[in-house]
């Protein structure tokens, strides 16, 4: 069973949000965060070589936390736009999401949206936290299922 603290969950959520890969060591409770070469194409991964090697050599000791897929990230932006009470901004966000380069256009409007910029960050952060918690629940459910299968 995975039992992470709220602080660990927030740490993983924050690291996933900035495009990193996160692993939780089931034996030690340690979190390892490494570069995600898909998100950071030109970054030098040498700084993470030791952690990458540790994870690869002890793969069964780790649980990987996944970030959102692109379509899920898009849906989060839609959900946020639907949730705000500023109809003018809401219209701008929906227009941005319906044009080419929706992520860039959404970001531009949010960055110029005053108080709604921070509300967006808070909203997105909570969605990442919830996403991490869902992954913990799925993992724990699978572990319980395996135990039941073994006992039959």
What 3-state class would DSSP assign to 63?
A: strand
DSSP E strands, the chain: 20-25, 31-35, 62-65
Look at 24-28, 63-67, 83-87, 140-144 and tell me which has the smallest mean pLDDT.
Answer: 140-144
Long-range contacts of 64-72 (CB under 8 A, 24+ apart): 64/21, 64/22, 64/23, 65/12, 65/16, 65/22, 65/23, 65/24, 65/132, 65/135, 66/16, 66/135, 67/16, 67/17, 67/19, 67/36, 67/131, 68/16, 68/127, 68/128, 68/131
Q: Would you list the domain boundaries of the chain?
A: 1-66, 68-152
For 69, other C-beta atoms within 10 Å of its C-beta total 9
Comparing 116 with 45, the larger pLDDT belongs to 116
pLDDT (tens digit per residue) in 82-137:
999 999 999 999 999 999 999 999 999 999 999 999 999 999 999 999 999 999 99
Q: Which is nearest to 59 in space by CA: 11, 16, 12, 27?
A: 27
What percent of the chain lies above the pLDDT cut of 90? Answer: 80
pLDDT for position 146:
78
pLDDT at 42 over 70: no
């Amino acid at each position: 069973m995975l039992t992470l603290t709220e602080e660990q969950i927030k740490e993983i959520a924050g690291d996933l949000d900035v495009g990193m890969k996160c692993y939780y060591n089931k034996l030690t409770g340690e979190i390892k965060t490494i570069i995600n070469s898909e998100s950071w194409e030109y970054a030098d991964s040498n700084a993470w070589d030791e952690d990458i090697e540790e994870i690869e050599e002890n793969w069964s000791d780790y649980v990987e936390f996944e970030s959102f897929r692109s379509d899920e990230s898009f849906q989060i932006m839609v959900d946020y736009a639907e949730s705000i009470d500023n109809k003018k901004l809401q219209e701008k966000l929906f227009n941005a999401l319906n044009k080419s380069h929706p992520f860039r256009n959404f970001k531009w409007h949010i960055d110029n949206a005053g108080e709604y910029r921070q509300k967006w960050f808070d909203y997105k952060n909570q969605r990442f936290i919830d996403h991490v918690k869902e992954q913990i629940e799925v993992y724990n459910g699978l572990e319980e299922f395996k135990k039941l299968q073994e006992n039959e």
